[in-house]
Amino acid sequence: MSAWGNPPLFAATFISLCVLARLDLRASGWLVIPALFPTTQYYYAMFALPLDPFVAAAMAFPAQYVPPLVTIGYAAVRVGLVVWRRSGRMPRPSPETDAAAG
């Protein structure tokens, strides 16, 4: 289930986990076991529950290479969100939202 037996996928997963660790060390730590551990089973997806139940459910799909692919996708989304926020193209909050929050 993990990327252990596939060197290109292992490298891509490892790199995505390293990039994710720069953003959120806790998140990458929860994803290491289901994505890279040599004898991963489908129920190892429970390690992703503290991050997001939908990520854990996607990882639990019993097919080859699903956990590493979900990990790469999760890291890509997190990096994309950071880039989007830093670009300044995020929607600005409306005055009603500011008044309700403050």
The secondary structure of 3-17, three-state, reads CCCCHHHHHHHHHHH
- Please count the other Cβ atoms lying within 10 Å of the Cβ belonging to residue 79: 15
Counts of helices then strands in the chain (DSSP H, E): 5, 0
For residue 42, is it within any domain? yes
| SS3 of residue 2 by DSSP | coil
Count of domains forming the chain: 1
Residue 1 domain-assigned (yes or no): no
- The pLDDT value given to residue 75: 96
pLDDT tens string 8-64 = 999 999 999 999 999 999 999 999 999 999 888 888 888 899 999 999 999 989 889
| 44, 71 Cβ separation under 8 angstroms | no
pTM: 0.82
Structural domain boundaries enclosing 25:
7-101
pLDDT at 94: 63
**What pLDDT, on a 0 to 100 scale, did the predictor assign at position 96?**
61
Alpha carbons 58 and 71: distance in angstroms, whole number? 10
In a domain, 59, yes or no: yes
Query: Considering the domain boundaries, does residue 46 fall inside one?
Result: yes
- Evaluate whether residue 30 is within a structural domain: yes
Q: Are 20 and 29 in contact (CB under 8 A)?
A: no
